[in-house]
Structure 1
Amino acid sequence: MRELVYYVAVSLDGYIAGPGGEFDAFPVEGDHMAAQNQRFPDAIPTVIADAMGIQRNGTMFDTVVMGWNTYAVGLPAGMTSPYQHLEQIVFSRTRTEADIPGGHPNLTLTDEGPVDVVRRLKSQPGKAIWLCGGGQLATQLAGEIDRLVLKRSPLLFGDGIPLFAPGAYQPSAFRELSTTAFGSGVVISEYVRQPVTRAPN
C-alpha cells in the first residue's frame, strides 16, 4: 500500500512557517541541500528544479497533497501549478476553481474530507504521497501518516504555523530510521509509524 509521507522543514520550536506563512528563514544553502535534493528531488517545485538542473527521478513521490494556504504561497510569484510533475491535490472548503488562475490538468481543488481522499489514494497503485502542509491538514491526516521526515533547522521562530495544529489527544508512536546532522546545523530525521500492539484479552 502507498505511504503518506509528511516531509517538511521545521524550526527548533516546532514551526513549519511564520505567522503569515513565511518560510524564507529556513536555510537554503549548506551541505544539507545536496542530501535532501538527492533523496527527495520530486519535492522541489518544478520550475526551481528545472532552473537548477535537478533531475526528478520519480522514485519517491507521484502525488502531493496540501492545504490552500500552503498552495497559495506561490501565487504572488505566478506559481499556479507548483509541482507540475506530480498529481497535485489542494484542500479547501471555501475556495473554488475560479481562485486558481489558468487551467492545470494535474491539479485538483477539492472540499472532500482529506482522510477519505488519502485513504482512496492509498488503495490505488502508485508511489508515495507527499503531505506538503500545512499544520491544520497534518492534524487532520495525523492518523494516516506512515512516515515523518523532519528537516530541523537551528532556528527559533517564536510564533507561526506549527508542525501539527492543536487537535484531539491521540498518542502515536514512530520508530526512528535515521538521523543525519549536517555542518549547516540542519538535522534530518526520518521516522516510520510503529504498528499498534494490543494487550491480549
Structure 2
Amino acid sequence: MRELVYYVATSLDGFIADASGDFSTFPQDPETLAALFDRYPETCPAHLREALGVTGPARRFDTVVMGRRTHAPALDAGLVGGAYPHLRQVVVTHRDLPAPSGVEVVAGDVLARVAELKAEPGKDVWLCGGADLAGQLLDLVDEIQVKVNPVLLGDGIPLFRGLGRPREVRAVAVEPLPGGVTLATYRTGRRG
C-alpha cells in the first residue's frame, strides 16, 4: 500500500500562506529550490521545470491530491492541464469546478476516494494542500514533511484546520536546507 504524505511549506509560526492564500513571502532561494527539487523533482510545477532546470523523473510521488484553493493558481495562470500534468492530479472540492484534461475532480466521499488511491499500486500520494483538506485526511496521512521557512506571518492559513482533537506524531528527521529552510519529517503512527 502506498503512503499519503503531506509535503508542504510553512512559516516558522505554522502558516502555509497568509490569510488571502498568498505564500509569496516565503523565501525562494535558488539553492533551497534546487535541494528540494533534487529530492522530489515531481513536486516542481510543470511551468517552472524548464526555467529551474528540473528534469529528473518522479522519485517518490506519482499522484498529487489538493484542494480547490491550492489548484486555483494553476487555473488563474491558464494551465489547462493543471500545475502537475506529469502526475495524476486529484482536486477535492464541494463546488463546481471545470475538470481540465488530466485532472480528476472529487466532490463526494473524499476519505473513501483517497483510501482507494492509497490501495492502488504505484508510488506514494502527495497531499500538497490545503489546510481544510489536510484536516479532513489526517487519519489517512502516513507522513508529514514540513518545509519550515525562516519567516513569521503572524496570521494566515494554518497547516491543518478542523482536527477536532489533539493528535500525536513522531519526529523522525530534521534537516537544514540552504537558505535557512528546515525540512522536518514526522510519522503519524499509521505505519513505520
Change (3 A) 1:110 1:190: same
Q: Does the alignment pair 1:124 with 2:120?
A: yes
Q: Does the alignment pair 1:174 with 2:175?
A: no
**Largest Rg, 1 or 2:** 1
Residue 170 of structure 1: CA displacement? Answer: 4.2
State the partner residue of 1:191.
186
Gap regions ≥5 residues in structure 2: none
**C-alpha contact 2:31 2:179 (8 A) present in aligned 1:** yes
Instruction: Give the 5 Å matches for 1:100-179.
Output: 100=99, 103-104=100-101, 106-176=102-172, 178-179=173-174
Residue 112 of structure 1: CA displacement? Answer: 1.9
Residue-by-residue CA offset, 1:43-86 (whole Å, 9 max, x unaligned): 11012113322113112110000000110023222123110000
Residue-by-residue CA offset, 1:128-178 (whole Å, 9 max, x unaligned): 1000100000000011111111100111111111100133104232231x2
**SS of alignment partner, residue 149 of structure 1:** strand
* Cα distance in structure 2, aligned partners of 1:84 and 1:7: 18
The alignment yields a C-alpha RMSD, in angstroms, of 1.7
State the partner residue of 1:23.
23
Q: Does the alignment pair 1:87 with 2:83?
A: no
Structure 1 stretches of 4+ moved >6 Å: none
**C-alpha contact 1:138 1:165 (8 A) present in aligned 2:** yes
Residue 6 of structure 1: CA displacement? Answer: 0.5
Instruction: Give the 5 Å matches for 1:2-81.
Output: 2-80=2-80, 81=82
Gap regions ≥5 residues in structure 1: 197-201
Kindly provide the amino acid, as one letter, of the partner of residue 88 in structure 1.
Q
Residue-by-residue CA offset, 1:1-47 (whole Å, 9 max, x unaligned): 10001001000111001111101011111532221111111011012
Count of aligned positions: 190
Kindly provide the amino acid, as one letter, of the partner of residue 149 in structure 2.
S
Q: Normalised by the size of structure 2, how large is the TM-score?
A: 0.92
Q: Normalised by the size of structure 1, how large is the TM-score?
A: 0.88
Residue-by-residue CA offset, 1:91-143 (whole Å, 9 max, x unaligned): 1111232xx5xx41x21112022211110011110101000100000000011
Kindly provide the amino acid, as one letter, of the partner of residue 108 in structure 1.
E
* Cα distance in structure 2, aligned partners of 1:132 and 1:56: 19
